Amino acid sequence: MAEESKNRESRDRESRNRESTIREIDTVDKIIRQRCTSKYLADEPLNSKLSRATIEEVIEAANFGPVHLTASKVHRSGEDDSILPWRFYVLQAGDCRSLRDLLISRGDGSKVPNMLAAASALIQVTWLPNPLETNSQIGVDPGVGADTETHIEVDGSSNLQDRLYDATIENMEHIAAASAAVQNMLLAATVRGIPTYWSSGGALRKADVFSWLEIPQREMLLGSVFLFPEDETGARVVPGKLRDKRGGTENWVKWVEFL
């Protein structure tokens, strides 16, 4: 009887574990499918109730993305010595409004000021390219741009953000790692009911904006991630354009079999 009772308890425990695993799988799959692009645009600043603690929770999820290679030492000095190949620069709602005012004062007519009026937070995500091997050919120090307003003409561009980085496997690894970190963050926001928009940056890529936000010019903007309020009152919400055009996996998956 004791042995039979022990076996029954073991079976019951295994059954509960399977049920728990199935629930976890369903939850993760649901969050992945729920994540979507929501661009909030407002003409006047909206109120934000998103706390710094919640923003920190969302950001913390990025720390668990896959990383293959460490950042170059040119990006690691003083307090900024993280080995991770990305950096986050975070603005809460009030600072988003101040940045909006700066952009408007210089005549920015894009949608960025409207998004900053609606945002509960903005996270400027940069990735850290290895030093350009071509720097020596144009007479630029590999670490140029970290703390200066240096403007070097390269292929007709005076904006360091427009300079091409070397097309290396290492840089591909850095971009992939930073992108995975952002996706983790978007999923963390989604499960908390926070609408998000991953923007390529537009005006937020400019050298003067980097200077205002104390972002080293040698870093490359991967994206401007907006966190918006759950209450969309006072905002126009524009959904992503490509969500319904993706098609099924059969359009981009090929099963390979060796005969």
160, part of any domain: yes
Helix (H) or strand (E) holding 222: strand 220-227
pLDDT at 160: 53
Q: Looking at residue 236, which CATH number applies to its domain?
A: 3.40.109.10
256, part of any domain: no
167, part of any domain: yes
Two tokens at 244?
């319904």
pLDDT at 103: 97
| Number of domains present in the structure of the chain | 1
Two tokens at 2?
């004791």
197, part of any domain: yes
Report whether 120 contacts 228 (CB < 8 A): yes
Report whether 229 contacts 74 (CB < 8 A): no
pLDDT at 58: 98
249, part of any domain: no
88, part of any domain: yes
Give per-10-residue mean pLDDT for the chain (259 aa): 66 71 90 94 94 98 95 85 96 98 95 97 97 54 40 42 77 97 98 97 95 94 96 91 89 92
Bridging pattern class, strands 236-239 and 86-92: unpaired
Question: Is 0.85 topped by the overall pTM?
Answer: no
246, part of any domain: no
pLDDT at 244: 86
pLDDT at 167: 87
81, part of any domain: yes
Distance between first and last Cα of the chain: 53
Residue range of the domain that includes 115: 34-240
Residue type, 234: G
**Exposure on the CB side of residue 170, measured as CA atoms within 13 A:** 14
- Three-state DSSP class for 82? coil
